[in-house]
Amino acid sequence: MGIVRAADFDLSKYSEETTFILDTNILYFVHSGYYLPTDPKCICYSNLIQNIMSNGRTIIVSSLNVQELLFGIEGKEYMRYLSANGISKNSYSKKDYRKNLAERQNLKAKLKTVITEISTAYTLADGQINCGQVYNYADQLETHCYDPIDYILVDNMLAQGNVVFISDDTDFQFDNRIELITA
């Protein structure tokens, strides 16, 4: 379909029935807390989301993206813990980190905050993975550039029809079946 730069986005060109789908990296920019509000990508995507929402349009976040975001946050918090404590990954694995009750409680608080933000701001959709999609991902690997979760997200959402994806992931730019808004 096409790629639209966020700076050139004109909501009036989309029907009111259009649904906008946020990819995990957009959630990470806007909701993880790892980017300053002054970061250009944070500003770009926050403004884009605000424009869509303030005009009463629907933004969907798949549970597939939420789980990917939570996993990314856990990974970031693990790396921050290692850095803050001068510990190497070789001497303190992610499995060790998961057994640290104090860190688990800190992580839980962060994850619950992020989930609350997302669930109050957007429409959440259950993401489902079926065996056929997994087989298709592998069988069609030379025809796309996606990781498995993004491939399944696109497959699930395209089935709904009249959707536009918002992503900073360049893998989406190689799929001519979708319309994409990106920075």
- Cα gap 183→177, rounded to integer Å: 19
Q: What is the CATH number of the domain that holds 92?
A: 3.40.50.1010
- pLDDT-derived band at 37 (thresholds 50, 70, 90) equals confident
Q: 114-138: per-residue pLDDT in tens?
A: 999 999 999 999 999 999 999 999 9
Q: Structural domain of residue 115, as residue ranges?
A: 3-182
50-87 tens-digit pLDDT: 999 999 999 999 999 999 999 999 999 999 999 999 99
Based on the structure, what is the number of domains in the chain? 1
Model's pTM, two decimal places? 0.92
Q: What local confidence, expressed as pLDDT, does residue 1 receive?
A: 64
What per-residue confidence (pLDDT) applies to 31?
Answer: 95
Q: What is the pLDDT of residues 3-20, one digit of tens each?
A: 999 999 999 999 999 999
Provide the pLDDT confidence category of residue 170 given band limits of 50, 70 and 90: very high
State the average pLDDT over residues 29-37: 92
